Amino acid sequence: MRTPISAPITLLSFTLLGLSSGCDAMDPAELEAIEGESEGLEEIVDEALDEDLEEALDDALDDAGDFDPEDVEMIPEPDPQEVYAGWVGGFGGTQYTRHCPNGMTAIGVTAASNGQYVRQLGLVCGPEYLVEGGFGVGVAAQEVISTGYHNGWPVAPADQPRATFDASAFNPVPWLRYKAPGTVYRLCDAGYRLNKIDVRSGALIDRVQSITCWWDGPGGQGPRGLVYSTGVNVGGFGGTLRSSSCQTTSEKFANGLQFRSGWLLDGFRIDCNE
C-alpha cells in the first residue's frame, strides 16, 4: 500500500500560507530558499498523484480480468422457430414476411386483382381479447398487413391501421397508395379466427377463392363443427386449386404472411404462430 499523499499536501498548504502572511518581513535570500522547498514539495505531490492514478488503473484492469459472463443476467434470445402452412403459387418477385401486431390475430383478408391475377393480398388483424370474448372487431380496431404491388409505381408492403390503409387509396403520390384499386374485404364472424386461405394458382396467384374461419370465442377452440368457409372470389380462373392452411399445423390460427411479390402476387404461405 502506498503512503497517503495528504501529509505533503498539508505541509505545502501551511508553507504557502506562511509565504503569504510573512513574505513582506523576509529578506530575499530566505524567500528564495522557501520557494525552492515549495517547488520540491510540488514535485513530491505530483509523483504521489501519478502513483495513485497508476494504482487505480491497475486495480481496474485486475477487476476486468476477473469478469465472469455468468455474473451477468443474459437477455433470452427470441424463439426463431416459425410454424408455416403450405406454400401456394410461384417463387418470383421479392420475399417479405409480415405479422399481426402483438396482442392481435388474423380475422380476415383483403384482396385485389387486375381481373386475371391477384395483385395484392393482406390479412386483417383484430385484438385477441375481442375475438376470445366473442365480440365483433370494428374498423377502428383493425390493422392491415398486406403485400406490395405495382400501380405503375412500386408500392411497398403495408402494416398500418385499416383506416390509414383505406385512406391511402386517395393519396396523390402513387407509391403511397398502399390499398390497391378494387380491394375486397372478407372478415370472419365475431369470435372466429382465420386459419385457411384457398386460392387458384400456378406460377402466380390467379384467384383468392375463399377463407376458412375457426371458432375461438368463449369456451375456447371449438370442434370442427364450428368451422365455416366464406367466399372471397377475387381474380381469374386459371391455375389449380390450392390451400395454405393452419389446420394441419401445431398452431391453428393465422398470425402473419410470408409472401413473394413484384408486379403481381407470386406466392405465399400463412404464418400460423399465435
For residue 81, what pLDDT is reported?
59
Residues 135-139: contacts with CB within 8 Å, 24+ apart? 135/190, 135/191, 136/190, 137/107, 137/187, 137/190, 139/163
Classify 153 as helix, strand or coil.
coil
- CA 150 – CA 118 distance, rounded (Å): 11
Q: From first to last of its 274 residues, what are the pLDDT tens digits of the chain? A: 444 444 444 444 444 444 444 444 556 666 566 556 556 655 654 565 455 545 544 554 454 444 344 433 333 333 455 789 999 999 999 999 999 999 999 999 999 999 999 999 999 999 999 999 999 999 999 999 999 999 999 999 999 999 999 999 999 999 999 999 999 999 999 999 999 999 999 999 999 999 999 999 888 766 555 889 999 999 999 999 999 999 877 778 999 999 999 999 999 999 997 6
How big is the CA angle at 208 (ends 205 and 210), to the nearest 5 degrees?
150
For residue 21, what pLDDT is reported?
45
Phi-psi region at 191: left, alpha or beta (left = phi > 0; alpha = psi -120 to 50):
left
For residue 37, what pLDDT is reported?
58
- CA 155 – CA 247 distance, rounded (Å): 32
- CA 128 – CA 228 distance, rounded (Å): 19
For residue 249, what pLDDT is reported?
77
For residue 166, what pLDDT is reported?
98
With cell 497508476, the residue in question is 54
Whether 255 contacts 272, CB under 8 Å? yes
For residue 9, what pLDDT is reported?
42
Put simply, whether the predicted model's pTM sits higher than 0.75 gets the answer: no
For residue 250, what pLDDT is reported?
75
Between the alpha carbon of residue 89 and those of residues 248, 258, 268, the distances in Å are 19, 12, 7
- Amino acid in position 98: R
10 Å Cβ neighbour count for 237?
A: 9
For residue 247, what pLDDT is reported?
85
Secondary structure (DSSP) of 2-65: PPPSHHHHHHHHHHHHHHHHHTTTS-HHHHHHHHHHHHHHHHHHHHHHHHHHHHHHHHHHHHHH
